[in-house]
Structure 1
């Protein structure tokens, strides 16, 4: 017996597909069997599995469990919950050697997938390709593992509350916060958390519903924050927090209804974290604002620009000993008093803690940030065979003849070019056949000149910025 996956399913950071078309129970079974084979080779034997609220998740969970046990691994089923709850189950238990969350994250309802952790480290890239190869060759370990069930949500919520350690909760009695779970997997944990938090909390859409009847659960798209914005305005709340479908990405708005983007949230967190970790390395991805890197440096921290992708960032944090990292997409990683994985519920608690420790409201902290003009993340279709080649061409051209305006060319992940007007970025997506572009300036004219440079470089490679496509 062997199994071949659809070519589109094995991604850089996770496994993802369309139910009934490119992903089904046979795939889940093969993933379980292959993962078990790799884990047993490495000396492990116990895997925690959880799942999100999509209609297809229980079916995939059942098949995954079959694959893992027939590969000789014991399975701890933790049930429905956010992805970080699965990470927590793996990180907080010595007997658990790996974890798999079944989740479609922020993709449309007919998608689903798997996020994995292996002996305390992210499982991605070459690991996922190896998993596919084992399945294709059918060289699986065999056995008959045991299945147990464990309710970890109570312990997980208590651990989240530790994010307020050292804060005088009495000071937070008047705090008023809005939360939007978007009918995603974070809902039930959020309800338990809000009951225990100081202050007044107003919750939206905590009922898990894989059809996402109210709005799509992607807090990086401003339109999806409309309900939260209305709630904050109506109840005169201090700020609002939103989650994606599986609870590992955060979005936020201040008391005035302004969006606080991923890099802006990181500015707040960095100010808080650097108080206790002077000179620490703070990591952000190449899409983040220059204002963030400048802010970290001004606070005495060591800003580090790194590649986009939650698995890549987590690995870099371990390598550098960084206590805090984040991405524009809303993944925020705390390793100062937490486990270093991306947990939007914990990030929400830490936002409350930061306002208390810094003695300023979220609105005041947002107000103090420099006004930058930036484009949204523009994503446009480019043939898979061209996307990396085009970026290489742009990079080569800018190295050999940068032009009078160019001050710096950073090739950490794609090409990020700094000029006197600001900066622009072109990079190839690791998960789709798209190029990603972004630009930031302090003036409208500057932004237009930066966009013209992007278009010129694309044109020189025979491409143009087409219609923007989603994640």
Structure 2
């Protein structure tokens, strides 16, 4: 039996306080467990990347050590936003992908987001990692590491798929987090007139915490929008897989309001729509109309 905190194994990811939950031997075992799952599913290599938190480089190295020890190969993508990690599965054709990130959680936290066979890895899948570690049931081998610069390919894909039809002035608050790595570059390449806030990556998050679901973290963006010079303001979380939106008057457009704005574009012939309990009753009423 392996001593490991079972509560770090959440429904959709593995998450915990680094100092307490992720010593090197635990992270190495996490890598061994995921590498084993990939091998037993017939896979051979995974993409591995992380966010800009100060603890991420060590976690990447320890996790990689575990994966390689199972005979599974690792393509190291470096420090990138989580959506780019997901994209790598389709561009590189790897068997799985792991992003090491604390997402929107406080700086002392970090975690692991997994994908397997181009699908989400969650629920019982996450628990299977714990079970392998508990039984010390790992494949053995000697995998190989390669490095790949994925950001240029991701930018190329975005530019192929998106066309901005009118001039736009946008404020982007990256919160000194992973969104600053490629967000401003992509937006400018799309022809957007961009005002950057806190786009320099800094794992101490010196200006505000990168969680756009908390109004306090949007105050700088709101103040900039209230100058009346811009069409929209965007704020990203720690790994740039969630966004906060502020309109041209400085008002926050919350997630369920955004969904309501998108509904006319996606609803046809009465398809089912899935949303979570944090959305308002107004959204449900609009869907049912």
Bigger relative contact order, structure 1 or 2, given CA contacts below 8 A and separation 6+?
2
What does the per-residue CA deviation read over 1:73-95, in whole Å, with 9 as the maximum and x for residues that have no partner? 0100111011111111013332x
Shift in Å, 1:230: 1.1
* TM superposition outliers: structure 1 runs of 4+ over 4 Å: none
- Alpha-carbon RMSD across the aligned residues, in angstroms, is 1.5
Name the CA distance, whole Å, in 2 between partners of 1:206 and 1:18.
25
Q: Does 1:205 align with 2:198?
A: yes
TM-score, normalised by the number of residues in structure 2: 0.95
Question: CA offset at residue 134 of structure 1?
Answer: 0.7
Superposition map of 1:7-406 within 5 A: 7-94=6-93, 96-165=94-163, 169=164, 171-173=165-167, 175-234=168-227, 236-274=229-267, 277-298=268-289
Q: Which runs of 5+ in 1 are unaligned?
A: 299-471
Distance across 2 between alignment mates of 1:231 and 1:56: 32
User: 1:109, 1:211 within 8 Å by CA — same for their partners in 2?
Assistant: yes
Give the SS at the match of 1:3.
coil
Task: Please list every run of 5 or more consecutive structure 2 residues that lacks an aligned counterpart in the other structure.
Answer: none
Q: Do the aligned residues in 2 keep the contact of 1:4 with 1:135 (CA within 8 Å)?
A: no
Matches within 5 A, 1:435-446: none
> Which SS does the other structure have where 1:231 is aligned?
helix
Retained in 1: the 8 A contact 2:6–2:130?
A: no
Rg comparison, structure with higher value? 1
Normalized against structure 1, the TM-score is what? 0.59
C-alpha separation between the residues in 2 aligned to 1:228 and 1:159? 28
Distance 1:39 1:18 in 2: 26
CA distance in 1, matches of 2:265, 2:191: 19
Aligned residue in 2 for 1:338 = none
CA distance in 2, matches of 1:127, 1:83: 19
How far residue 286 of structure 1 moved from its aligned partner, in angstroms, is: 2.2
CA contact (8 A) 2:32 2:69 kept: yes
CA contact (8 A) 2:228 2:248 kept: no
